C-alpha cells in the first residue's frame, strides 16, 4: 500500500514533498524542530547542533533498541504558523517517534494542537512561563518556580532589594512571568508603587531613557533591583547602556532570565561583572560530567562555542527519552510516556533530574554572577526544585494542578475536583 501511495504521489509535480513516505525502516527517526533561519535562528541553531551531537553520540554507542537513530531536521524559519506545518510534516510524512524543538512560547502554542491531534511527543527545552500542561509535551526547561521565583527570593533575601524594576520584551513569557512575580511580590509585602514594569519591542536598541528611569527609582531610599526578561539581542543594547551609565551590580543588581553564555558572547562583559542570571545550568558548573559535555561540544563545534541551559535541557530530555524507550521496549508514544514518569537522569550540574507526573523536571536552581570572561560564577545553588505547571501565585492558577500519571489530566481543578480540559490551552 505504501508503495502504491508513493507511486501515485510520485506522479505529481510535488512528488518530492509528499513522496518522503518511503521511510527507511531500519532507523528510529528523531525530529528536530528548531528555526535555522529568521530571528530565532540565533538561539535555536545551537540546539539543533546539540541534538545532532547527542544523536551521533548515541549512534556511536549502538543506537536505540538495536536500531540507529536518524535525525530529521526541518527549518520552521522563525515563522510561527510554519512550526505547526512542519510539526505535522514531521509526524505524518516523516513519521518521527519524537520531536525535540521549539524555543519561543508562541511557536510552542502553534505546535500544540498538531501534536495533540496526532499524539506526538515533544521535548521543549527552554525556560517558559508555565500555565500550560500538555499530555504530549515534556517541559525540560524551567517553569517560573524553578527560575523566576527563586531569583526573586534571592533578590529579597540575599540582596535586600525593596524596589523592583521588571523589564521585559513584550511577549508572552515576560508578560506572564512578570504577572506572576508582581503577584508574588505583593504577597511578600512589596507595595504597588515599588514595582516598575516596562515592556520593549523585540530587538530594541535605544535604552537610555529606560535605564535613566531605573536609576531614578532609587530616589525614595529603597534598594532597587532589576528583573530582566529581555529577550535575545535586545540585551546587548541594554547591557551596553547599563555599563555606560556606570551602574554597579552592587547598587542596582540586574538578574536576567534570558541571558546565558550564548548571549554574553555578543558583548564585552568587563563592565557587567557582578550582574546576575538565574538558570538551571551554567557552563561553569563544577562537575565531571559537565566538563566532559563541554569538551565534546567544543570539539564538535569549535573552541569558541559555549554551552547553555537549554542545551542541558535537551541533554536530559534526550537521555530520559532513550531510557524510557529502552524500558518500554518500543518508541510508541504512549508506551514511552508512561515510562517517562519518575525517570531519573544525572544532570550536568551534579545532581539528578527527575521527571514528574506533570511533565516537568525537578532541577536545581543556580544563580550566577557575570564574570569578565563572559562566563558565570555560580554563587548560589539550590537543591532540586520540582517544576510547577500552574503557578501558586495567581489566584486562577493556584487551584489548578497537572498530573498525567494518576489523574490523566493536565488542568485539574482541585477546588471543584474536576478536570477542566484534557487538551492543553492554546
Partner 1 sequence: MQRSFIAKNPSVLVFLAILALFTLLVTVMSEGFGVGGISTSFIKTLGKTLCLCLIALAMDVIWGYTGILSLGHFAFFGLGGYMIGMWLMYERTRLIVVDSLAQAEIPPTDGEVIDAVGNQIFGVVGSSEFPLIWAFADSLVIQLILVVFVPGILALVFGWLAFRSRVTGVYLSILTQAMTLALALYLFQNDSGLRGNNGLSGLQNLPGVTASQDYVSLWFFWASAAALGGGYVLCAWLVSGKFGSVLRAIRDNEARVRFLGYSVEMYKLVIFTLTACIAAVAGALYYPQAGIINPAEIAPIASIYLAVWVAIGGRGRLYGAIIGAAFVSLLSTWFTGGQAPDINLGFYTVKWVDWWLVLLGLSFVLVTLFAPKGIGGLIDLYTERRSPSRHGADLGPDDGALREQEASQ
Partner 2 sequence: MRQIFLAGLAFLAACLISPDRAQAQDAAIQPILQEHQALIVKSSRKTIGPAIDAVASSGLPQAQTVLEVWAAKNMWQRKEDGLFFIGEKIDSKTYALTDFDSGETVGEFPKKELKQLKPNSGIRALIGTALVQFQLSDPDIEARKAALLSIERDPEASLLAPLRASIDGEPDAALKAQKQRLERLLTIGYDTDETARLSAIADMSGDLGVDVRATLNPLLTTTREVAAGAVPEGANVAQILHPGQDSFDKITAYDLLADKGIAPARVTSDDIRLALGEHIEGGSVGGVPVATLHTQAARLKAYTVLAAEGEVPTYVDEAAIDSALKVNVFFDAYAEPSKSVTDAAAKALKDIELKVGLNQTLDLTLDALSLASIYFLAAIGLAITFGVMGVINMAHGEFIMMGAYTGYVVQQFIPDHTVSIIVAIPTAFAVTFAAGVAMERLVIRWLQARPLETLLATFGISIALQQLAKNIFGTQARPLTAPGWLDGAWVMNDVVSISYIRIAIFILALIFLGIFLYIMKRTRLGLETRAVTQNPRMAASMGINPDKVNMLTFGLGSGIAGIAGVAIGLFAKVTSELGSDYIVQSFMTVVVGGVGNIWGTLAGAAMIGFLQKGIEWMNPSNTLAAQTYMIIFIIIFIQFRPRGIIALKGRAAGE
Contacts 24+ apart (CB under 8 A), 156-162: 156/188, 158/380, 159/223, 159/225, 159/253, 160/223, 161/223, 161/224, 161/225, 161/253, 162/190, 162/194, 162/222, 162/223, 162/224
262 binds partner 2 (CB under 8 A): yes
371 binds partner 2 (CB under 8 A): no
Out of 6, 198, 296, 382, the only residue in the binding site for partner 2 (CB under 8 A) is 198
Distances (CA, A) of 120 to 116, 126, 137, 223, 395: 6, 19, 8, 48, 32
Determine contact, residues 34/45, Cβ cutoff 8 Å.
Answer: yes
105 binds partner 1 (CB under 8 A): yes
Distances (CA, A) of 170 to 114, 175, 177, 320, 384: 26, 7, 11, 34, 30
397 binds partner 1 (CB under 8 A): yes
Out of 92, 119, 248, 270, the only residue in the binding site for partner 1 (CB under 8 A) is 92
Kindly tell me which of 16 and 37 has the beta carbon lying closer to partner 2: 37
Contacts of 396 (CB under 8 A, 6+ apart): none
Out of 153, 159, 175, 249, the only residue in the binding site for partner 1 (CB under 8 A) is 175
Question: Please, what is the Cα angle at 157 between 156 and 160, to 5 degrees?
Answer: 60
Determine contact, residues 223/161, Cβ cutoff 8 Å.
Answer: yes
Kindly tell me which of 115 and 365 has the beta carbon lying closer to partner 2: 365
216 binds partner 2 (CB under 8 A): yes
Contacts of 253 (CB under 8 A, 6+ apart): 155, 159, 161, 225, 226, 274, 275, 276
Q: Which of 98, 150, 145 is nearest to 124 (CA)?
A: 98
Binding mask 218-257 for partner 2 (x = CB under 8 A): xxxxx----------x--xx--xx-xxxx--xxx-x----
204 binds partner 2 (CB under 8 A): yes
Cα separation, 98 vs 30, whole angstroms: 5
Q: Which of residues 49-78 bind partner 2 (CB under 8 A)?
A: none
187 binds partner 2 (CB under 8 A): no
Out of 42, 52, 93, 328, the only residue in the binding site for partner 1 (CB under 8 A) is 93
Distances (CA, A) of 302 to 40, 89, 307: 21, 32, 11
From the list 16-24, 108-116, 122-130, 261-269, the region that binds partner 2 by CB under 8 A is 261-269
**Partner whose binding site includes residue 112, from partner 1, partner 2, none (CB under 5 to 8 Å by kind):** partner 1
Out of 84, 224, 252, 325, the only residue in the binding site for partner 1 (CB under 8 A) is 84
Query: Shortest gap between Cβ of 394 and partner 1 (angstroms)?
Result: 8
Q: How big is the site for partner 1, counted in residues (CB under 8 A)?
A: 61
Cα separation, 358 vs 134, whole angstroms: 9
Out of 43, 46, 102, 110, the only residue in the binding site for partner 1 (CB under 8 A) is 110
**Partner whose binding site includes residue 178, from partner 2, partner 1, none (CB under 5 to 8 Å by kind):** partner 1
**Partner whose binding site includes residue 213, from partner 2, partner 1, none (CB under 5 to 8 Å by kind):** partner 2
Out of 22, 62, 81, 373, the only residue in the binding site for partner 1 (CB under 8 A) is 81
Query: Shortest gap between Cβ of 221 and partner 2 (angstroms)?
Result: 4
16 binds partner 1 (CB under 8 A): yes
Kindly tell me which of 186 and 405 has the beta carbon lying closer to partner 2: 186
Please report, as ranges, the residues that interact with partner 1 according to CB under 8 A: 4-6, 8-9, 11-12, 14, 16-18, 20-21, 36-37, 72-75, 77, 79-81, 84-86, 88-89, 92-93, 105-106, 109-110, 112-114, 117, 129, 131-132, 170-172, 175-176, 178-179, 199, 201, 396-397, 413, 416, 418-421, 423, 425-426
Please report, as ranges, the residues that interact with partner 2 according to CB under 8 A: 37, 39, 41-42, 45, 154, 157-160, 170, 196-201, 203-206, 208-210, 212-213, 215-216, 218-222, 233, 236-237, 240-241, 243-246, 249-251, 253, 262-263, 265-268, 271, 274, 369, 377-380, 415
Amino acid at each position: 500500500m505504501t508503495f502504491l501511495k508513493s507511486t501515485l504521489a510520485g506522479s505529481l509535480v510535488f512528488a518530492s514533498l509528499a513522496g518522503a513516505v518511503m521511510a527507511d525502516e531500519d532507523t528510529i527517526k528523531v525530529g528536530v524542530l528548531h528555526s535555522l533561519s529568521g530571528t530565532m535562528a540565533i538561539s535555536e541553531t545551537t540546539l539543533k547542533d546539540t541534538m545532532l551531537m547527542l544523536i551521533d553520540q548515541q549512534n556511536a554507542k549502538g543506537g536505540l533498541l538495536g536500531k540507529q537513530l536518524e535525525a530529521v531536521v526541518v527549518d520552521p524559519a522563525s515563522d510561527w504558523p510554519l512550526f505547526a506545518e512542519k510539526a505535522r510534516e514531521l509526524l505524518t510524512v516523516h513519521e518521527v517517534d519524537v520531536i525535540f524543538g521549539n524555543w519561543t512560547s508562541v511557536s510552542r502554542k502553534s505546535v500544540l494542537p498538531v501534536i495533540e491531534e496526532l499524539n506526538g511527543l515533544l521535548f521543549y527545552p527552554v525556560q517558559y512561563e508555565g500555565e500550560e500542561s500538555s499530555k504530549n509535551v515534556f517541559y525540560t526547561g524551567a517553569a517560573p518556580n524553578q527560575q523566576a521565583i527563586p531569583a526573586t527570593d534571592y533578590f529579597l533575601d540575599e540582596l535586600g532589594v525593596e524596589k523592583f524594576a521588571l523589564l521585559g520584551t513584550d511577549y508572552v513569557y515576560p508578560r506572564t512571568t512578570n504577572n506572576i512575580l508582581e503577584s508574588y511580590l505583593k504577597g511578600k509585602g512589596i507595595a504597588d508603587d515599588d514595582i516598575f514594569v516596562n515592556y520593549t519591542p523585540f530587538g530594541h536598541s535605544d535604552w537610555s531613557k529606560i535605564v535613566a528611569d531605573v536609576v531614578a527609582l532609587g530616589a525614595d531610599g529603597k534598594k532597587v533591583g532589576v528583573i530582566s526578561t529581555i529577550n535575545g539581542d535586545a540585551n546587548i543594547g541594554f547591557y551596553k547602556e547599563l555599563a555606560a551609565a556606570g551602574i554597579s551590580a552592587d547598587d542596582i543588581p540586574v538578574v536576567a532570565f534570558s541571558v546565558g553564555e550564548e548571549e554574553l558572547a555578543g558583548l564585552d562583559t568587563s563592565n557587567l561583572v557582578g550582574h546576575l542570571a538565574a538558570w538551571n545550568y551554567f557552563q561553569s558548573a563544577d562537575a565531571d560530567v559537565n566538563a566532559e559535555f563541554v569538551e565534546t561540544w567544543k570539539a564538535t563545534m569549535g573552541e569558541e562555542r559555549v554551552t547553555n541551559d537549554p542545551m542541558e535541557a535537551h541533554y536530559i530530555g534526550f537521555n530520559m527519552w532513550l531510557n524510557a524507550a529502552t524500558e518500554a521496549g518500543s518508541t510508541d508514544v504512549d508506551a514511552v510516556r508512561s515510562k517517562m514518569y519518575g525517570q531519573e537522569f544525572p544532570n550536568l550540574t551534579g545532581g539528578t533530574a527527575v521527571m514528574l507526573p506533570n511533565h516537568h523536571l525537578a532541577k536545581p536552581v543556580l544563580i550566577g554572577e557575570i564574570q569578565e570572561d563572559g562566563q558565570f560564577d555560580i554563587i548560589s545553588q539550590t537543591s532540586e526544585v520540582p517544576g510547577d505547571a500552574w503557578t501558586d501565585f495567581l489566584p486562577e492558577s493556584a487551584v489548578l494542578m497537572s498530573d498525567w500519571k494518576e489523574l490523566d489530566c493536565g488542568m485539574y481543578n482541585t477546588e471543584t475536583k474536576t478536570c477542566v480540559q484534557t487538551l492543553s490551552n492554546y
